[in-house]
Amino acid sequence: MFFNSMPTLRYKVGDKPRTVTDIFTRVVVSKYQNTKLAIDSYYVEDGERPEHISYNFYGSSYYHWVVLMVNNIVDVHNEWPRRTDSLFEYVEDKYGTGNASDVHHYVLKKDVNGNEVEEEIYVDYSASDLASGVIQEVSNYNYELEFNESKRQIYLLKPQYLGEFLNTYKRLMAV
């Protein structure tokens, strides 16, 4: 349904005109639909895919695109949480072999009074601050691990609103 309901356009491929799906047409979930009444918070387990969540939540893997749309995910490869067992390989690929433990950035660990800082605040490198524990280094791997973990908290449209959502989607895509 996701691609079937999208508008088409004429596109010239070589010397032949073809009808193709306009994948650039998007519908965004309204802030009014995205309320606590219609949305459930959900934590994505390691290795869980949109298809699995759709099957477990809606009774069909067919609605995986609804899971992605509600979370405004366009690129599932980069915006969906990676499997923990493949994260190191990803970091090695992104930063270069052997660079997973290199410093990505520094964060403030203690304030001027020596109290632990709860919010992560990026700071510039200072040898004396690093030695005294005022700042802390964050490795490339730990940065990507934390970023990956932040992707695990998603939202799901409650099943009782799925039919209305699908009808609205079809109506909006009928450009």
Q: What is the DSSP track for the chain?
A: -TTTTS-EEEEEETTEEEEEE-TT------TTTSSTTTEEEEEPPTT--HHHHHHHHHS-GGGHHHHHHHTT-S-HHHHSPPPHHHHHHHHHHHH-TT-TTSEEEEEE-B-TTSPBP-S--EE---HHHHHHTSEEEEEHHHHHHHHHHHTTEEEEE-GGGHHHHHHHHHHHH--
Give pLDDT, residue 32.
47
Please write the tens of the pLDDT for every residue from 56-95: 999 999 999 999 989 989 899 999 999 999 999 999 999 9
More confident residue, 160 or 31: 160
Give pLDDT, residue 27.
60
Q: Where residue 25 falls among pLDDT bands split at 50, 70, 90?
A: low
Q: Where residue 146 falls among pLDDT bands split at 50, 70, 90?
A: very high
Output the pTM of the full model.
0.75
